[in-house]
Amino acid sequence: MRIRFQVNGEKPRAAELEATLSEKARALGLETGDGDADVIVALGGDGTFLRTVREFSDLPVLGLNLGGLGYLSSVEERDFAAALERLAAGRYRLSERCMIEANGRFAALNDIVLTREMSGHLTRLDLEADGRFVAHYMADGLIFATPTGSTAYSLAAGGPVLMPDSGSFVVTPMNPHALGIRPLVVRDAVRFVVTARSRTAGNTMKIGVYADGENVLTLDEGESVEIAKSAKTAKLVELEGYDPFGVLARKLGWSGSNVK
């Protein structure tokens, strides 16, 4: 097997760790280099992982965490060597994760986000699902998250956690003006259309559309964007012993009550 490291050079000790891990990989019989590869090893945080998936969309990606929480790059530094050992021994599986896209072109593993481009003002967004009107939102924006992305921005905005195999998306409003507005979980076959509406007469506002944090579109008032499941998928390397519930418990501190 041939592996290629994709490293976030801004992380402290990243270059040093890459050299150490490359030596360890070769000792295990793995080939390393910058050419063709069977598996890409992303060494950084979740941002590094997402950029790697975008750049190497057809290849499996294993995430080694040098960032903060690290949901996608879930292998911690103390386990880096063991991760390479399992990879070399074939003790892993590939998890094919669905992606979401805007206007059939801009695919994201985590989420498509629509948000205001002017601080301090609410957006007005109309949402349709499969041609049916859903709601008129007054909020800072909307997050359309995949199961993989449900533990990212959507979670921070109050959305639920979706399991990777749930076959669903979640639509999470960001700071909605109406207390009754809540996140919405739907099957991932639904096609959404979001239309930007005027905030007040004569007061225009542009809406930014972001795919995994990258600005891909800007909507003027009256313009729409279609959001749907992408034909593309991402392949994540899940090492032997990987447990999505265990990752959530560890990363979110689900340790139960401290009351005795």
Please give the Cα distance from 191 to 131 (Å, whole number). 8
Please give the Cα distance from 80 to 64 (Å, whole number). 7
Please give the Cα distance from 92 to 86 (Å, whole number). 7
Q: Is the Cβ–Cβ distance between 4 and 32 less than 8 Å?
A: yes
Annotated catalytic residue within 46, 111, 140, 212: 46
Cβ-in-10-Å burial (0-12, 13-18, 19+) of 78 comes to exposed
Rg (alpha carbons) of the chain, rounded to whole number = 20
Query: Among this protein's residues, is 38 annotated catalytic?
Result: no
Q: Which helix (H) or strand (E) holds 15?
A: helix 14-27
- Quote the tokens at residue 206: 């542009």
N- to C-terminal Cα distance for the chain? 51
Cβ-in-10-Å burial (0-12, 13-18, 19+) of 36 comes to exposed
Q: What is the largest CA-CA distance in the chain?
A: 68
Question: Helix, strand, or coil here: 102?
Answer: strand
| Catalytic residue numbers, as ranges | 46
